[in-house]
Amino acid sequence: MENRKELIIDFTRSFRYLVRTVRQDFAVEFGGYIPYSEFTVLRALEDDRTLRVSDVARRLNSTNSYVTLTSEKLVKKGYIIRERNDVDRRSVYLTLTVEGLELVKKMDEIVYAYFNKTFVDISNEDMHQVLDILQKIKPFNNEI
């Protein structure tokens, strides 16, 4: 039987490599659009269109300061609108603009095409097995 520690080390190395590779590939695939980090904020707003900064941060498993910094870039580009709540001045809302929604839909198509090409040799059954394993590691929801 293989050493559990070695398996864990191999798994974490492979997982880190996969994440780095996908991020590098997305940098190329998204050339001419926006960086992946900005795309994730737009995507978090895609369904609801308006959310508080704290809700976006929660969906991204990130911090309010990260979302604020990233959203400022998206405001300058015209993809979101940033507004303070009139009742509670501490609450800041982000609203996806029509241009932002169009962009996130275009980029979603790029993401789908990338993964469709990447997973071409992986059966649906294999994909279900990987999803089941990932769910065991860290349960997740499908918000993003």
Query: pLDDT tens digits for 66-89?
Result: 999 999 999 999 999 999 877 877
- pLDDT-derived band at 144 (thresholds 50, 70, 90) equals very low
Residues 17 and 31: their CA atoms lie apart, in Å, by 21
Specify the pLDDT at position 90.
80
Q: Say if 52 falls within a structural domain.
A: yes
Confidence check: pLDDT of 2 > 80: no
- Structurally, the chain folds into a number of domains equal to 2
Residue 56 sits in the same domain as residue 111: yes
Residue 42 sits in the same domain as residue 59: yes
pTM recorded for the entire structure: 0.80
Angle, CA of 18, 22 and 26, to the nearest 5°: 175
Residue 2 sits in the same domain as residue 67: no
